[in-house]
Amino acid sequence: MLNNINKSIPIFTLTFVSVLLLFNRPFVGIYIFGIRLGELIIAGSLFLAIFIPAIFLFSKTLKIKKEYRFLTIIYGVIGIFFLASILYHQTSILSTYTYKTSSYVWTIGYFYFSLIVFNNFQKLENYKHYFLPVFMVLPFIHYIFSTGYFPNFIIDFFNSYSDKFEFTKASDIMLSLVIANLLNFKYVSNKIFRFSYFGFSVSLLLPLLLFMSRGSFVSGVIFYVFSLYYFRKYFFKNLKVLILLFIISSISFIVSLYNVSDIDFSFNWGNEPPPSVIETVEEVSKKKETRKAFLSLYIQDGRLMSKDNTTNWRLDIWQDVFEDLNNKNLIIYGYGHNEIIPVMTDPSAPGRLGRDGLNENVHNFFINILARGGLFQFIAFSAFYICLLQISKRKFGNYGIFLFMIPILFNSTLDMSMEGVQYPVVYYIFLGFLLSTEDKSNLINYED
């Protein structure tokens, strides 16, 4: 019976992650006995963050504890800095707001949970035939749902049983795309199918991401370029596969671009020529002012500015955080977890709380860490991620984990995604999955 339980937990975890990736924010807003699922997930992360790292440090039977020992010590230091902030700011440990604003600390607990759950998952290799198709179809479901075909019965369900319904954000779509392709790289042995899926899926969703969010679009491009780099040796030996990849990518990109651009490409019987692909790209990018955001930075009065309103709004917040922390001598301890970050309610800069007045996020994962936990906690988080890279290098002989971490973390520097529930939980679970479910040779099948 214990063996069946050990088999069931990984399957349940993967099923749970797939549902999180599919329904995102509305799913974590479902009420269970008057409590939102997202609140239960964060409460669970708090439990995991306290007890599982202790098991890694003190257990004599856990085989994977040695290679993660130093990482766990660093995580303990992060927790100590949280406690120091609690004491310094006299924060109530009974307030739910304290744990809401410090969720970026506790969600790492799911990383440790994943390390244990998937430690021997290679013994359940046959199950990949069940979960792999589910994850690989998710990006296409998101594409269909996000281009005007979201089923009404799903909307009605979440309106009835969740605290809110909202369409899937670009960051969550990008996350599902990256995970689907990493599983594709990891488990699909047929090279033609592997790279056809990669080229088709990424190129299909990039125009949609461009239309929805600049940050998620750039993250998708980063993933595409990094993937080409990591498979470069294979492509140099198999130029036909590389050519096929670019053909599939070009076709799917153009078709998707036309689909999301709302441009009429019906037969033109007049003299006016149809719009070219370049013109279509320009039109879609203008809607999000992508080039303007990245190429219009300038310095004025000692501050970094942008002609793009959204980019300038974020730059203004980030720089105000630095200046305000410095002026109040809070660089070391941060603002703590008692209240909204003060610059978000600055009367001289109205509108930072959003149209509904509920936005508390600075839209940057790392600046949020600095603002809440202070400089030392920020340094500890940086050390945590550096240590993860070193573990990956020692285990697999490469920095392949970059392929997952960089696009996801880059997106979080332009978005509030890591301050939510589903995004960091899925990120940390899959991070643990990648580090646990491969033999000692490769993290991902880069070379064959």
Average pLDDT per run of 10 along the chain, which is 448 residues long? Answer: 64 91 92 90 90 72 70 92 92 87 93 85 66 93 90 91 90 96 90 92 94 91 94 88 91 89 48 49 54 65 80 86 92 90 75 67 92 94 93 82 93 89 94 76 52
How many CA atoms lie less than 13 Å away from 5 in the CB half-sphere? Answer: 2
pLDDT for residue 269: 39
DSSP-derived pairing of the beta strands 35-36 and 31-32: antiparallel
Distance CA 221, CA 254 (A): 15
Structure tokens at 116: 């244990």
Tokens 């285990």: give the residue: 395
Spatial distance between the Cα atoms of 98 and 93, rounded to a whole number of angstroms = 7
Half-sphere exposure of residue 402: CA atoms within 13 angstroms, side-chain side = 14
- pTM exceeds cut of 0.75: yes
What are the tokens at 142?
């998101």
What 3-state DSSP class applies to 173? helix
Query: CA 173, CA 178: separation in Å to the nearest integer?
Result: 9
Candidates 276, 184, 278; CA nearest to 231 is: 184
Q: In this structure, what token pair is assigned to residue 368?
A: 């949020």
- Amino acid, res. 399: Y
Residue 66, both tokens: 């040695």
Question: Which residues, listed in sequence order, are joined to residue 303 by a DSSP beta bridge?
Answer: 300
| pLDDT at residue number 266 | 44
**Element (DSSP H or E) covering residue 300:** strand 297-300
pLDDT at 170: 93
pLDDT of residue 2: 46
pLDDT of 268 reads 43
